[in-house]
Structure 1
Amino acid sequence: MALIEMQAAVLQRFSVSVSLGQCQRAKATAMAMIEGKLEDQYAKVWNYASAIRLSNPGKTCLVGVESNLGCNYFKRFYVGFKAFRDGWSKGCRRVIGLDGSFLKGQVKGEISTAIGRDEDNHVYPIAWAVVNFENKDNWTWFIDNLVADLDLGTGNGLVVILYQHKGLLQAVANLLPHLEHRKCARHIFGNFRKKYTGLELKSLFWEAAMSIVKGDFLATMEKIK
């Protein structure tokens, strides 16, 4: 129920006027009673990992914590299902996209993802992780687990598409030194259109990005200039 609807319902039922702030606090209290506090949810992460391992034989599920003054604090959580791993190895192109998205709300952090492309050129999930911060250490941990799961070796015959996340490029270079590196055209275009607007430049950008012949790419780049 939206806060405005909640405010109107209280007025109609109890003939009491309440502010939106009071409605927000009441709703938060009610949700905490129903779902439990966020701290309690994180305390169950070990049980969650055990349930995943029992229900999905052969998968990888790892929990990382930091200890301070006798207390454990959540650091990171990795999941790689065996079915996804086998599907990528047997039926997908040797292309992996690495990206991350910041978590919003009371508990911060980032979700890191590895995706592939199947034979129909559709997005194929491979593995993901939730980490406390975006940094080289967490990206290295995520990619190291991914390399072990998919038996990627040093990256021979592999293409990785990534963007300029903090520490990601260095982690990839250290763990997969022989891969072919590409940057995400969509992210590049997002920065491009901030300065260069218009449908003509947009069309030329994607024409260059989709070029499969070097001469066509260079000709389109000259048009953009």
Structure 2
Amino acid sequence: MIFYLNPKKNISNPNTPTNKIRFRIFANQTLQLLMSQKVLLNSKEVTIILHRLACQLIEKHLDFSDTILVGIQPRGVFLAERLKQILEDEYKVPEISLGYLDITFFRDDFRRTDKPLEANKTQINFIVEDKKVIFIDDVLFTGRSIRSALTAIQSFGRPSEIELLVLIDRRFSRNLPIQPDYRGRQVDAINGEKVKVSWKENDGEDVVHLVTN
């Protein structure tokens, strides 16, 4: 059952964080009228997967003393921040280094579009040289974003090892020979379908949809 919100009702200041989330929920509900959506993962399933991924990271990296998490902008940042929180709060891992990497100007197609590019911030305030780096993104699709990230990270040093963690692996959609080291769920989707990951911090709820136009 879907409850539709009136975005103007009882909202005195639309710019507060709470009301921004309300507007996003309203926009998502409106989008459901225009598209066919299938729930791939609900909130409980997302939580279970996040804890599994956290345990897999601990098994490989122990105390994370030589390991860095890097969220790929924009959507990988939400997953990276959530994993950092789970590792530190739930599993008592000491403070973990987390950075954000923007790949906008490292993409192999950025000169081939007339659309204005919107870059996000890159924030890596630590040494990457000889560290183990874990790239984190929400969906692995063609692999081109990860190729761009591999190029972009070289500006900050030469890691000893780079791994890839994704929430969703669209395994039959790859253009490049790139595979994740840690995956939440494999999804078989045709090119006309889109996997949409929503996070409660930004979208009001944790849910993954398969969207068909």
Could you say whether these structures have the same fold, taking a TM-score greater than 0.5 normalized by the shorter chain as the test? Answer: no
Answer with 1 or 2: which has the greater Rg: 1
Q: TM-score range by the shorter chain?
A: 0.3 to 0.5
Instruction: With a CA cutoff of 8 Å and minimum separation of 6, indicate the structure with the bigger relative contact order.
Output: 2
Tell me the TM-score normalized by structure 1: 0.31
1 or 2, which has the higher helix percentage?
1
- Calculate the TM-score normalised by the size of structure 2: 0.33
